[in-house]
Amino acid sequence: MAIEVRRISDLKEVDVSKLIQESEKEGYRFVSRLATEYEDGTNRFSEQGEALFGAWDGEEIVAIGGLNRNTKNTDAARLQRAYTLPSYRRKGIGRELFQALFVHAKGEFNEITTKTESAKADAFYRANGFQFDERSPDITHVYSL
């Protein structure tokens, strides 16, 4: 399996239907929101420092995640909509995706924040260098750049 992580310049050119379908089976609606918000222009990951990345196995996108500028703290990015297909988990793909996001964020932001209520996501974030943080109701984890 040769996974390629690359920046997504136009989500309209990427078939994320399987990511949406699988995430909704698990009870997550954030990948669907990502597609909807991109389509309607609410969030295109196009502000300064923002980016959307995907991981591909051949022609199939198997993971996605993006960074938005934090509106309350412009030195911070917000990790948004990070998801990996269940059959691709525990193979280092999420770590590769995060590394691409971290490299992109360095020099632009001082930290990356995110929020989760999932114990699995909590463990994943901590394993990838995030620290648990309850400084605000909108944050559960912080990664210092």
pLDDT bin (cut points 50, 70, 90) of residue 134 is confident
Angstrom distance (rounded) from CA 49 to CA 21? 29
Q: Quick one: pLDDT at residue 84?
A: 97
Residue 5's closest CA among 67, 82, 96, 81? 96
Tens of pLDDT, residue by residue over 33-84, are 999 999 999 999 999 999 999 999 999 999 999 999 998 888 999 999 999 9
Q: Quick one: pLDDT at residue 74?
A: 86
Fold of 3-144: Aminopeptidase (3.40.630)
pTM of the model: 0.95
Residue with the two structure tokens 């609410």:
42
